[in-house]
Amino acid sequence: MNRRVLLGAGGWLAAAALTTLAGIWAVSLIGADLSGQAVRSMTPDEVGRVLATASAAPAAAPPSATGPHAVTGGFSYAEGSVTVACEAGRALLLSWTPAPGYGVEEVERGPAATASVVFESDDRTAVISLTCSSGRPAATVRSVAEHDED
């Protein structure tokens, strides 16, 4: 073999190795934010634990949605959490958060005599109805198990 060919192949291999190392280093930087701290994704188990221990904080209503005399209340169930405001005998659903494994199927936000939200999982549907009883928030839950008909 010719010496030139060996030097050319060696140079090409060195350049390829250097480029590969630079690429690996650059990709490793993607996992660090501007402060230099590494960022990693949460595992599904970690997400489940965080969601199971998180409390649904009531969302603040827009100033035009409730008046100064509105009374708010929060309710939590196995299917999810809701926050409602009562003013002038009408219910306004401020926030709703389904529990892990549930989704939101339907929302009747109000303001109305009755506001509602439907939380649904693969095997259960829960309808949470919110009213204002004597000016204070009240909730009722109707939960139905879903059965597959084959």
- Is the residue at 23 inside a domain? yes
Asked whether residue 68 falls in the same domain as residue 140, the answer is yes
- Is the residue at 91 inside a domain? yes
pLDDT classification of 85: cutoffs 50, 70, 90: very high
Asked whether residue 72 falls in the same domain as residue 12, the answer is no
Asked whether residue 64 falls in the same domain as residue 122, the answer is yes
Structural domain count, the chain: 2
Q: Alpha helices, DSSP H only, in the chain? A: 3-30, 44-53
Q: What is the pLDDT of residues 2-44, one digit of tens each?
A: 888 788 888 888 888 888 877 777 666 665 554 455 556 677 7
Asked whether residue 67 falls in the same domain as residue 97, the answer is yes
Asked whether residue 67 falls in the same domain as residue 130, the answer is yes
What are the CA-CA distances from residue 60 to residues 14, 73, 76, 82 (Å)?
Answer: 61, 12, 17, 12
Distance CA 122, CA 143 (A): 13
Mean pLDDT of the chain: 78
- Provide the domain limits for residue 69: 56-145
pLDDT for 55 beyond 90: no
Q: What is the pLDDT of residues 105-131, one digit of tens each?
A: 889 988 999 999 999 998 889 999 999
